[in-house]
Structure 1
Amino acid sequence: MTPPPDTLTPTTSGVPRFTRAERWIHRTTAFLMGVCVVTAGCLYLPELAELVGRRELVVRVHEFAGLALPVPVLAGLFSRPFRKDLGHLNRFGPHDRRWLRAALRRDRHPASRPAAKFNAGQKIYAAWVAGATLVMLGTGLLMWFTHLTPLMWRTSATFVHDWLALTLGIVLAGHIGMALADPESRHGMRTGRVSPDWALREHPLWRPDERP
């Protein structure tokens, strides 16, 4: 029986999910984000600050890692598959609302969580991290160039930056935890390919023409 055109056709060689450029963007962004998180911990946690020392160097590494954070994504805009995936992440359909309702009910049955190339949780996570990164960058610049803004602006920027950093750290920890719980997803990000069974189970609405 021929499968319907809107489903993913399994193959013996696996399913291509991410191109080399997309994997490079993810790894580089993850590295820079990790540097920001670690250096922030060294700046705000007394135990780490005493262990590392060299506060001025840590501040500079934190600042330049934060400035470089958007660079991989901006460079990735030259990649057509990456731009296409951004389009998938920016579209929210009826199946995504169904996925969210099932997630809120803690219904883990695959049939209750329809998803295309990206599920609703991944779309919300990507949008939130992108917005948070821009706010962190803006508030960080206000804190860096102190002579350009009034004291009230700098104080407000520091408050937003610090609390958003804490929230971002928690969200990233959740993201890492979910990745650790899904070896096949990690394999797809590492090699660019996933098994047909995993693709059909986790992303049944992923169409063949959405592949890189």
Structure 2
Amino acid sequence: MTSTDGWAGRTAAMMTRLHESRAVTGLRRFTRAETWVHRTLNCLMAVCVFTAACLYFPPLAEIVGRRRLVVTVHEWSGILLPVPILAGLVSRAFRADTGRLGRFFPHDWRWLRALLRTRRRQPEFAGKFNAGQKLFAAFVTGTILVMIGTGLLMWFPRLSPLVWRTGATFVHDWLALLVGVVITGHVWLATKDPEARRGLRTGHVPRWWAREEHPLWRAGTGEERAADETQQH
């Protein structure tokens, strides 16, 4: 009887998950403004990465051709990267999530220590965003600023000395390679979590996913509330 009851319980849990995953709406995770910021930033970043590849890999450059046009598209897509982020600051929800992403709480340090010790994620230490997502957001923000700064030095060579342009080119090129590697890893992790992708696409996630992957967010811990209150004041 115990085995039968256990199997029935697992079956019921699986059916509940399936029902919540197929539901039109679930738990609100992101607003429309936040999904718009993410999609727009993704598109601009994809254009930057693709055009950069066209400029630095000869076989791809030969296929695409029109190098001057590729350079122009690369430059302007890079300059426009901060625009969706700045526009998103109009949204209170976006500002609140920006506050969460920009602050490390004690449970985030526990998440990192557990990851380094076991080589596995520890969802029990995750708020709305886990420590890995916060580090990725910090990396993206810093990268955008550095890439724009070095790119401007390369774009307007007459406004800076040669040594500056040489250093800017070195940093820009190697950081671009690092960006490609990090984004590849980010996409690979995203392919393993369809519910997280759904949250970014529709703004909603199943409640079971929130309970299992971000329990401190669902629990409404004091630290998570503090981030919201900081943004509201």
TM-score, scaled relative to structure 1: 0.90
For residue 183 of structure 1, the aligned residue among 166, 171, 194 is 194
- Residue 87 of structure 1 corresponds to 99
* 1:61 maps onto 2:61 in alignment: no
Cα distance in 2 for residues equivalent to 1:87 and 1:109: 22
Residue from 115, 122, 134 that aligns with 2:126: 115
> Relative to 1, partners in 2 of residues 1:182 and 1:151: Cα closer, same or farther, differing over 3 Å?
same
| Structure-2 separation of matches of 1:162 and 1:110 | 35
Aligned twin of 2:43: 31
Residue 163 (1) aligns with residue 184 (2): no
1:130 pairs with 2:141:
yes
Asked whether 1:195 is paired with 2:198, we answer no
Q: CA deviation at 1:102?
A: 1.7
For residues 87-132 of structure 1, the C-alpha deviation after alignment (integer angstroms, 9 at most, x for no partner) is: 0011101110111112112134544xx1111000000000011001
Mapped to 2, the partners of 1:108 and 1:122 lie a distance apart of 12
| Aligned residue pair count | 197
What letter is aligned with 2:120?
D
What is the CA distance between 1:146 and its match in structure 2? Answer: 0.5
- Superposition CA RMSD, Å: 1.3
Q: Deviations over 1:112-170 (max 9, x none)?
A: xx111100000000001100110000000000000000011001000000000000110
Q: Which has the larger radius of gyration?
A: 2
Q: 2:109 aligned with 1:97, yes or no?
A: yes
CA distance in 2, matches of 1:55, 1:34: 18
Point out the more displaced range, 130-139 or 102-111: 102-111
d(CA) in 2 for partners of 1:155 and 1:23?
A: 38
Select the structure that is richer in helix.
2
**Matched residue, 1:151:** 162
Of the two structures, which has the highest relative contact order with CA contacts closer than 8 Å and spacing of 6 or more? 1
**SS of residue matched to 1:205:** helix
* Structure 1 residue runs of 4 or more that deviate by more than 2 Å after TM superposition: 107-111, 207-210
Identical-pair percentage: 64
Indicate the residue corresponding to 1:6 in structure 2.
none
- Per the alignment, in what secondary structure is the counterpart of residue 206 of structure 1? helix
Distance (Å, rounded) in 2 between the aligned partners of 1:107 and 1:160: 32
Point out where structure 2 has 5 or more consecutive residues left out of the alignment: 1-19, 229-233
- Unaligned 5+ segments in structure 1 are 1-11
Question: Hey, what's the Cα distance between the residues in 1 that align with 2:70 and 2:122?
Answer: 46
